[in-house]
Amino acid sequence: MRVLFVTWAWPSHLYALVPFAWACRNEGHEVLVASQPALLPELLACGLPAATVGTDVDAAAMVAEYALPREQDQPKQTGSGPGGRGPRALQMFTRLAEAMTGGLIELGRQWRPDLVVFEPTALAGPLAAAALGVPAVRHLYGTDLMLRARPVLPAALAPLAAEHGVAEFDPFGLATVDPTPASLQLPVNYHRLPVRHVAYQGPGRLPEPLPDPAGRPRVLISWGHTMAKLAPDRFLAGEVARALAEDDGPELVLAVSARQRGLLGELPERVRVLVDTPLDL
């Protein structure tokens, strides 16, 4: 079977797909991972066959528009989350689908997949699958944050679907692969395929062994990648480390990227900093 994996150009969304893509390949299936051109370095680093489709968009600006508060936001708006972020998120996902769907369909006609697997916000995936006449399956990267948007997605994507000759499609696909721990899963009315979570955060070198914590708990601090891209003043990993760095407190390990190192500020000597080290290592 040929399986086409789809994500837009945001590394963490790709990382969630990689273990399942490798599992498919290890079972003998042909695998191809597709995203926008901006993600090509990460696509190649995961060791799977890759293709780029569509055009790049200013994803960081769109995420900032959705994620960061604005002065005119009114939290009292109902049904859309604080500050009307729901509609802004929907606009972002629709714009991403517009940037990818045509190229993804063209790739599909050349490569001829039997199945499309897409992360929940890469809505070009189910659209292209419908245009190609093959099934689509979602793969979550955490709690199903798109669940509340399910009723409005078909109407929001209807113009794009019509543009590509798609009369009907399900933006949630035929089934949803869910690696989320059971305690974080939401009650749903769709076909869920629970799987064990397998970590992947990109390639990296195994760090030197950490010293014995001498009976103290060890705390790993990470602030992810998103906030440093959107608003460096909200990258609070260093502040958290300073708050926890008590003489009789836990051993602290701070995981950051090279570009984030300069955002930490002055740290106590007892805080160990690991740079560009995948969290699973």
Please give the model's pTM, rounded to 2 decimal places: 0.89
Q: What are phi and psi of 139, to 5 degrees?
A: -130, 110
Locate tokens 């709690």: which residue? 143
SS3 labels along 39-77 = HHHHHHHCCCCEEECCCCCCHHHHHHHHHCCCCCCCCCC
Given this model, what pLDDT does residue 59 score?
Answer: 82
Which of 124-127's residues contact partners 24+ apart within 8 Å by CB, and which partners? Answer: 124/6, 124/8, 124/54, 124/96, 124/97, 124/99, 124/100, 125/6, 125/173, 126/169, 126/170, 126/171, 126/172, 126/173, 127/97, 127/101, 127/157, 127/160, 127/161, 127/164, 127/166, 127/169
Print pLDDT tens along the chain (281 aa). 999 999 999 999 999 999 999 999 999 999 999 999 999 999 999 999 999 999 999 888 888 887 787 665 555 444 444 345 678 888 899 999 999 999 999 999 999 999 999 999 999 999 999 999 999 999 999 999 999 999 999 999 999 999 999 999 999 999 999 999 999 999 999 999 999 999 999 888 898 888 887 788 999 999 988 888 888 999 999 999 999 998 788 899 999 999 999 999 999 988 999 999 998 88
